[in-house]
Amino acid sequence: MSTTPVDFRLLCRRGDFSSNTSGILPSYMQANLVILPSEIAKDFLDLCARNPVPCPLLATTKCGFDELDNGLLIAPSNQGFDIRTDLPRYCIFERGKLKAEVNNCREQWRDDHVVFLIGCSYSFEGALINAGLTPKNITRHQNVSMYKTTKCLDAAGIFVKCPYVVSMRPYKKKDLDAVRSITADYIFTHGEPIDWGFDGADRLGIADLSKPEYGDAIDIEDDEIPVFWGCGVTPQLALETIGHQISGPVITHSPGCMLVLDVTYEQFSETKLR
């Protein structure tokens, strides 16, 4: 397997890797990808700025190849970097509907496309594992439970009536403070839980915890409570919600098939906070 993010991305570029990046080069940060026609880029930027917990914007770029704005370190330039090829797999949407899954999006790429990288919860899950608080979805090799809530995002441009999506990990009540404090440091990847407990589920309008809208159902034992975090599916659902209004193609990573960055979370946040 690849030993550096650059090598891994070259593997993707050649089409030799096209699946899930969970557990790949775990010390490096991974990011969700959204590529939009420029006409809605400003609205999407505003959506992220107004709703930073579910939509943590890491970086943007207009060109999409070697350079990313907002101080995000990316591959050493002599190795090259191409956002259109360097992820394992991409989804292509037209008018909000999934049209294709492809190994590169060279064909769909347009000069007016704008690239957004969004934080991913893999970062804080690593920290929870290191603290002996491994999320149950990981020990059970399941996908995390995700719920569409009745809480809406604060509207931004064409993004109106977009639901806030949360991920849920069950924890023992006595571990809540530790779980909160560990994930609170990950301010660029959803940060601390937004709410918890069965009363928290009520506040979020989650009617049935055993029926997540996305991912797998994870049972909550008698001595556990559900803990809810902002979830990166939120911006994807927002694009789906208003998709019929977007004329050009929208490109995203394929679920779980993220962009592997050249920085650790610590390096990234030092750069951003400087």
Beta-carbon neighbour count of residue 225 at 10 Å? 18
Q: Taking CB under 8 A as the criterion, which residues in 228-267 touch a second copy? A: 230
Which pair of tokens denotes residue 153? 């995002």
Position 100 contacts a second copy (CB under 8 A):
no
Closest to 35 in 3D by CA, of 119, 114, 91, 120:
114
Per the DSSP assignment, residues forming a β-bridge with 90 are 102, 253
Which pair of tokens denotes residue 220? 């909550």
Rounded least distance, CB 254 to a second copy, Å: 28
Q: Which of 97, 173, 184, 245 binds a second copy (CB under 8 A)?
A: 184
Q: Rounded CA gap, 156 and 162, in Å?
A: 10
Helix (H) or strand (E) holding 92: strand 90-94
Q: Taking CB under 8 A as the criterion, which residues in 196-235 touch a second copy? A: 203, 230
Residues in the chain: 274
Binding mask 71-90 for a second copy (x = CB under 8 A): --------------------
**What is the Cβ-side half-sphere exposure of residue 193, based on CA atoms within 13 angstroms?**
23
Rounded least distance, CB 270 to a second copy, Å: 17
Q: Which of 191, 212, 215, 249 binds a second copy (CB under 8 A)?
A: 191
DSSP string, 220-253: --TTEEEEEEE-THHHHHHHHHTGGG--S-EEEE
Angle at 68 between CA 119 and CA 73, to 5 degrees: 70
Of 5 and 193, which has the nearer Cβ to a second copy? Answer: 193
Q: Phi and psi for 262 in degrees, rounded to 5?
A: -90, 10
Rounded least distance, CB 232 to a second copy, Å: 15
Q: Which of 41, 53, 206, 251 binds a second copy (CB under 8 A)?
A: 53
Q: Which of 46, 82, 224, 240 binds a second copy (CB under 8 A)?
A: 46
Of 52 and 96, which has the nearer Cβ to a second copy? Answer: 52
Of 94 and 185, which has the nearer Cβ to a second copy? Answer: 185
Q: Which of 33, 194, 238, 251 binds a second copy (CB under 8 A)?
A: 194
Q: What own/partner pairs with CB < 8 Å and gap ≥ 24 does 206-214 have?
A: 206/147, 206/149, 206/166, 209/145, 209/147, 209/168, 212/145, 212/146, 212/147, 212/168, 213/146, 213/147, 213/148, 213/165, 214/143, 214/145, 214/146, 214/147, 214/148, 214/165
Of 63 and 160, which has the nearer Cβ to a second copy? Answer: 160
Q: Taking CB under 8 A as the criterion, which residues in 149-178 touch a second copy? A: 150-152, 154-157, 160-161
Of 88 and 193, which has the nearer Cβ to a second copy? Answer: 193
Q: Which of 193, 215, 226, 232 binds a second copy (CB under 8 A)?
A: 193
Q: Which of 9, 13, 147, 195 binds a second copy (CB under 8 A)?
A: 195
Size of the site for a second copy (CB under 8 A): 24
Instruction: Give the residues lining the site for a second copy (CB under 8 A).
Output: 46, 49-50, 52-53, 150-152, 154-157, 160-161, 180, 184, 187, 191-195, 203, 230
